[in-house]
Amino acid sequence: MENIQKDIAYSMIRRKSFNDARVLKKWQVIIDATELDEGYQKKNDYYLSRCYNRGKADKFMKYHRSVLEAKLYLGNDFVCSIASEPIENTEEYINQSDEKIKQDCESKAFVRLAKKIKKSFPRLPIIITADGLYVSQKVIQTCTDNGWDYIIRYKEGCAPSIAQEYQELPEKEKIGSEIEYQNQIMFQNTDVNLIYYTEKKIQADGEEKITKFAWITNITITKSNAKKIVKAGRNRWKIENI
C-alpha cells in the first residue's frame, strides 16, 4: 500500500499542471492528525488516554487512536497522501512504571513520519506546513536535518518567548495593514522568522469579522514573498478536514 501511495504521489508531482501549487518552487506537505476512534473503553494497550476534569470529583478518562498524515498539496483544495504514521503507545511505553509513563504524541510521530517521507522522496524540495502543536525544537530540528523548509502556525501560548521578543522589537516590517513580520527571532537554540496576518471578512449580516493568524518559518520573509508565505499557511487550515 505504501508503494502504491508513493507511485501516485510521484505521478502527480511529474505532471506540470500542478506546478502552480508549489510555494517558492517547493512542494507543500501538510501534516495533519486524524482521529480514528475515541471512547470510554480502552480497547487495547496501544490506545492513548485523555484525562478530563483532572483534580475534580467528576474526573474521567477517554481513549483514542489516531494517525498522522502527510499530504501533498496540489492546489484547489486537492491533496494526495504521501505517508502515514500511527500515533500509539509502543511496547516500551506499555512496560513502563506509572511514574515514568510518557505517551506517544504528534511531535514524536512526526519524527518517525519524516523518516518515511525522506526515504520515499529523498530529493523532493519540501515545505512542511503544520499547526501550533508542532512549534517545538524537535520538529524544527527534524526539518533542518532533512533540508526542508517549514511554515508552522504559531499561537502565543505554545512558545511565549517568541511573542515576547517580537513585541520588544522597536520596529517591525509591515505590508499595508494586513501583514507584519520580523526575521531572526530567538527560539531556544535557533532563530525563527515570525509573520502575522490580519484577515478581514464581511459576514452575511454586514458585520466585519477580524481574525489574526501567525506563523513561524525558516524562510527569510521579504516584502516580495510575505503574501506567498501567508497563503501557504492558510492552505493548511483550508484542507484540514479533507
171-178: list long-range contacts, CB under 8 Å, 24+ apart: 173/221, 173/223, 175/223, 175/226, 175/227
Residue 240: per-residue pLDDT: 59
Residue 232: per-residue pLDDT: 94
Residue 145: per-residue pLDDT: 97
Domain that holds residue 124: 1-240
pLDDT beneath 50: ranges in the chain: 99
Residue 111: per-residue pLDDT: 94
pLDDT per residue as tens digits for the range 4-39: 888 888 888 888 889 999 999 999 999 988 888 888
Helices (H), the chain: 2-14, 91-94, 106-120, 137-145, 160-168, 226-238
Residue 171: per-residue pLDDT: 87
**Where residue 228 sits, what CATH number does that domain have?**
3.90.350.10
User: b/e string for 92-121 if b means 16 or more Cβ within 10 A?
Assistant: ebeeeeeeeeeebebbbbbeebbebbbebb
Number of domains in the chain: 1
Residue 173: per-residue pLDDT: 94
Tell me if residue 12 falls in helix, strand or coil.
helix
Residue 91: per-residue pLDDT: 60
